[in-house]
Amino acid sequence: MGAGSCIFCQIVEGKIPSAKLYEDDLVISFLDINPINPGHSLVVPKKHAATIFDIDDDVLAKCAVVAARVARAIRSATGCEGLNVLQNNFRSAGQLIDHFHIHLIPRYEGDGFLT
């Protein structure tokens, strides 16, 4: 899938609505449409890059800083007991959207997801 038909590029451009949590010149964060737990969010670079193998260092660094900032907000909004930071690359690793993104997943004792 090229950047032209990429769902996350369309969210970045405002062509598809999203529940936005954060935005700056390089990065956007919004709620996942199909959350594992309430508050499950994504951190997405504005410039299209398919995987961690394609992303520029400065953008990756900014994504990490934003992920920590949004994680703190999710924790205080949800009162979650734990939080997974997850990043999938290629189908064999569970990547469905070919635009780099970091998952922030609030977790609770015994919720039974992932680990």
Catalytic positions are: 101
32 part of the interface to ligand 5GP, by CB under 6 A: yes
96 part of the interface to ligand 5GP, by CB under 6 A: yes
Residue 37, token pair as written in the block: 């737990």
Can you tell me whether residue 84 is helix, strand or coil? strand
Start-to-end CA distance of the chain, whole Å, equals 31
The residue type of 75 is R
Pattern 34-73, binding to ligand 5GP, x per CB under 6 A?
A: x---------------------------------------
Which span sits near ligand 5GP by CB under 6 A: 48-56, 57-65, 75-83, 88-96? 88-96
The span from the CA of 105 to the CA of 44, in Å, is 15
CA proximity to 9, closest of 28, 34, 33: 28
Where on the chain is the footprint of ligand 5GP (CB under 6 A)? 7, 16, 18, 30-34, 88, 94-97
